[in-house]
């Protein structure tokens, strides 16, 4: 069973507007580990990523601390994955 299914969606972060010329999985791990235990390999795609924490408190702390952070030439945006899915549908 994937850890993405083990924890509620409120523990998952969608990170948008990523500058892939600068941002790597390791850079994201270095930034976001200070907010809590990352439960699975960070999923980095072109322009966005997903991070899975083991609790909602860590996810909320990461959103509060890193939303609108400058990474490369872009400012990243963070939301709970559940919000991203609702807006997308």
Q: What is the pLDDT of residues 16-60, one digit of tens each?
A: 999 999 999 999 999 999 999 998 889 999 999 999 999 989 999
Give the pLDDT score at 45. 95
Give the pLDDT score at 40. 82
**Other beta carbons within 10 Å of 74:** 17
d(CA 55, CA 48): 21
pTM, full prediction: 0.81
Which structural domains are found in the chain, ordered by start? 3-88 (3.30.70.330)
CA-based end-to-end distance of the chain: 25
Give the pLDDT score at 79. 82
């Amino acid at each position: 069973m994937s850890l993405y299914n083990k924890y509620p969606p409120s523990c998952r972060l969608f990170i948008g507007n990523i500058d892939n010329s600068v941002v790597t999985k390791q850079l994201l791990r270095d930034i976001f580990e200070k907010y809590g235990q990352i439960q699975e390999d960070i999923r980095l795609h072109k322009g966005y990523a997903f991070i899975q924490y083991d609790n909602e408190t860590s996810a909320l702390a990461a959103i509060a601390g890193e939303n609108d952070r400058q990474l490369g030439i872009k400012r990243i945006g963070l939301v709970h994955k559940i919000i991203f899915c609702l807006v997308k549908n």
